Amino acid sequence: MTLTRRSLICSAAAVTTTALVTGGGVARAATASQAITTTGSDIPADWMGALPDALSLLRMTIPGTHDSCCTDPANGTEWSHTQNWGIAEQLQRGVRFLDIRANGLQGRPDDAFGIYHAAYYQGITFDGVLEQCRDFLQQHPRETIVMRLKKENGTNNDVGARFKDILNVYLDTKGWRPWFLLADRVPSLGEARGRIVLVAQFDNDWPVLQWPGGDNDFLSNQWFSLQDIYQGLPLPSRKTAKVTQQFDNVTGDQSSALMYINFTSYAGGGWPKVNADAIMPGVQSYLNAKLSDRTHLGIVPMDFPDFHSDTLRTLVDWNWH
């Protein structure tokens, strides 16, 4: 049975009420009339819970963050500062794609990753990232997290080809495997609920989703169509055109077997915050003009969604169009 907008909204209200009763901490929808006006952004910690299990992640709009752990300019410079919200707050606010960049942790070369932006350690370990993801999923078991895990090059503690072996330590010795969905196809939401969907960007021969190779371009492989142009444009505002081009691409390819990913972040010409402020108003204007379209837009990673919460809310609510 196809769910209507009204039935999805009522389902969202039911999830909200259940979460309060079970200690999930989400506000109760007080009346039936309030339930009718509830949308995903009204329940950001549980917005996926209102959507049907059979829905493929391919047919969703999933807001995300770029360099998700880079919250402090002291860990590098303002160049490496892309977020103000930490992982826990990002997830509570509705973010469901995390961009995690790891390499060897100082003093623990065989069993732990640190999180980096280029050479700069970001003051958090992969253990800390996983603990925050687990805590969120325990409290919100109908949600899922899509995680790009990249071996970040240029660090002082590069583990090279041992990256996948250290990840196996996390999965097996440290017991994280049950929290991951490792599959070489994009799953349905029902399959992914309560788990982290791994997208691998490191040397491996595993049957998992693999990030496209290459850099700073429109890229694709058998799983993904990616726009991640982050430098080389004459003005940061030109990045807006690349973002909207990818939105147009996915709009014209709604039955595709590819997961579309569309980074709004840009590193050329200024600090990430300055660039985000130049890029995001145009992105929001594009979305406002398309509100009546019944489309899905794929994964949309952002810098500083706290300053552009209108776009974050719009992307979450896009799943109700």
Record the tokens describing residue 243, joined without a space.
């973002």
The confidence band for 245, taking pLDDT boundaries of 50, 70 and 90, is very high
Provide the whole-model pTM.
0.90
Handedness of CA 119, 97, 244, 40 (dihedral sign): negative
User: Cα separation of 304 and 309, whole Å?
Assistant: 9
For the cut 60, the answer to whether the pLDDT of residue 258 exceeds it is yes
The confidence band for 12, taking pLDDT boundaries of 50, 70 and 90, is very low
Q: What angle do CA 294, 298, 299 make, to 5 degrees?
A: 140
The confidence band for 37, taking pLDDT boundaries of 50, 70 and 90, is low
Q: What is the mean pLDDT of the chain?
A: 90
User: Cα separation of 102 and 92, whole Å?
Assistant: 23
What structural domains does the chain harbor?
1-38 (no CATH), 39-320 (3.20.20.190)
- Give residue 263's pLDDT: 98
Helix then strand then coil, % of the chain, to nearest 5: 40, 20, 40
Burial, 39: exposed, middle or buried (Cβ in 10 Å; 0-12, 13-18, 19+)?
A: middle
Phi, psi of 301 (to 5 degrees): -80, 145
Length of the chain in terms of residues written: 321
- Compare 20 and 275 and report the one with higher pLDDT: 275
User: Cα separation of 319 and 321, whole Å?
Assistant: 6
- Give residue 303's pLDDT: 98
Q: State the pairing for strand pair 224-227/218-220.
A: antiparallel
- Rounded mean pLDDT, 62-73: 98
